[in-house]
Amino acid sequence: ECTLLIDCDPGIDDMMALAYAFAHPQVQVAALVASGGNVSTEQVGRNLRGVLELIQESVPVPAAAEVPWALGAENPLKQTLTTTEETHGDFGTGYAVLPGQSVPTEKNHDDGARLWVETARRYEGQLSGVVLGPCTNLARALELDPELPTRLASLHIMGGALNHRGNTMPTTEWNIHSDPEAAHQVFEAFDRPDAACYPVLCPLDATESNILTPELRQRLTAGKEDSPVLAALDDALQFYMEFHEGDGLGFIAHVHDPFVTAYAVNRLLQEQGDEGALVLGKEVETVIDVELDGKLTRGQTIADWLGRWGRTPNASALMTAEAATFFDHYIETVRSCYAH
């Protein structure tokens, strides 16, 4: 069993990640935090609520309706939030329309960090954090509870580009670019001998290998007429693939967040001795830091592969992805829950 807190900014691929997490029989989603990123924090909150409603209406996924969730910070630690409607659509979910997506959430900003802390204490030693947006809320949670690194079972962060070009600026990836100080603070906070785990950074080096083709999309969403969740994923993916096409990559989509979620789940299951757990990529232990000052490189993630900084490892970098295995697993897991 994996107990997850997912901090995300749906976001088309975030939405895919949520559909997977709720569909996986060995995953318990303990809490969700809405992070500003792809769209505003408030809109992400509406999207989270909409996804939960859609999932709950479609299939009786236990407790989807009761999962505690909170809005995170309105802005990154030191800069004003920029959003990316061109990548994810005006509401963050491409052409998909979610229930209540235009209705305000009536939640307070900034409760996300508190929810991190409360959930980590409630599931002391059991909780795995999965960050699929900027690290703002986790950084603020670490300020509220500096002992958080001793409490988590694992931490996976989708972000960065190590031996790979960026997808935002030449060397930067969107999530880290959106709040470089927060990511820096996270790596610093876990750099202590009694940390219960290292952050596993899952950069573009691995995630961009997961190329969703029209054939894979068709396998995923066949029969969508009878499944509101599959229909929403299909509408969202249409937009996402058009975006990638406009970026000169062909009519495909890079699916980052569901891969990172599946990687985190399978890694945990492996640690628990589950023989069915899949190996979805390869990690390398290293020192990771984030450039905060570079005129051209602010927000770049750097791994000290040769140990030139003379520091002990503070992280693990996921450098490869078993894309075919991941897609088979993702499609099977999602369809087993939402296809009728």
Residues that bind Ca ion (CB under 5 A): 9, 11, 14, 132-133, 257
Q: Is 191 in the site for ligand BDR (CB under 6 A)?
A: no
Q: Is 13 in the site for ligand BDR (CB under 6 A)?
A: yes
- Nearest residue to 217 (alpha-carbon basis) of 93, 331, 322: 331
Q: Which residues of 141-176 are buried (b: 16+ CB within 10 A; e: fewer)?
A: bbeebeebbbbbbbbbbbbbbbebebbbbebbbbbb
Judged by beta carbon, residue 58 or residue 167, the one nearer ligand BDR is 167
Which of 27, 113, 115, 132 lies at the binding interface for ligand BDR (CB under 6 A)? 132
Contact 5, 30 (CB under 8 A): yes
Judged by beta carbon, residue 88 or residue 151, the one nearer ligand BDR is 88
How far apart, in whole angstroms, are the C-alpha atoms of residue 144 and residue 114? 8
Residue 199 φ/ψ, nearest 5 degrees: -65, 135
Of the CA atoms within 13 Å of residue 158, those in its CB half-sphere come to: 29
Q: Residue 59 in 3-state DSSP? A: coil
Site string for ligand BDR, 66-105 (x = CB under 6 A): ------------------x--x------------------
Q: Which does 289 bind (CB under 5 to 8 A by kind): ligand BDR, Ca ion, none?
A: none
Q: Is 174 in the site for ligand BDR (CB under 6 A)?
A: yes
Judged by beta carbon, residue 169 or residue 222, the one nearer ligand BDR is 169
Q: Is 283 in the site for ligand BDR (CB under 6 A)?
A: no
Q: By beta-carbon distance, which residue lies closest to ligand BDR?
A: 174
Which of 4, 23, 31, 38 lies at the binding interface for ligand BDR (CB under 6 A)? 38
Judged by beta carbon, residue 11 or residue 72, the one nearer ligand BDR is 11
Residues 6+ apart with CB under 8 A from 279: 266, 270, 322, 325
Q: Which residues of 211-222 are buried (b: 16+ CB within 10 A; e: fewer)?
A: bbeeebbeebbe
Q: Which does 119 bind (CB under 5 to 8 A by kind): Ca ion, ligand BDR, none?
A: none
Contact 200, 156 (CB under 8 A): yes
Q: Residue 53 in 3-state DSSP? A: helix
Q: How far is the CB of 85 from ligand BDR (least distance, A)?
A: 11
Contact 318, 283 (CB under 8 A): yes
Q: How far is the CB of 256 from ligand BDR (least distance, A)?
A: 4
Q: How far is the CB of 280 from ligand BDR (least distance, A)?
A: 17
Which of 7, 111, 118, 173 lies at the binding interface for ligand BDR (CB under 6 A)? 173
Q: Is 14 in the site for ligand BDR (CB under 6 A)?
A: yes
Q: How far is the CB of 177 from Ca ion (least distance, A)?
A: 12
Q: What is the DSSP pairing of strand 2-8 with strand 27-34?
A: parallel
Site string for ligand BDR, 198-237 (x = CB under 6 A): ----------------------------------------
Beta bridge partners of 70: 33
Range list of β-strands (E), the chain: 2-8, 27-34, 69-71, 127-131, 154-158, 199-202, 211-212, 253-254, 283-286, 288-290, 301-303, 315-318
Residues that bind ligand BDR (CB under 6 A): 11, 13-14, 38, 84, 87, 132, 158, 167, 173-175, 256-257
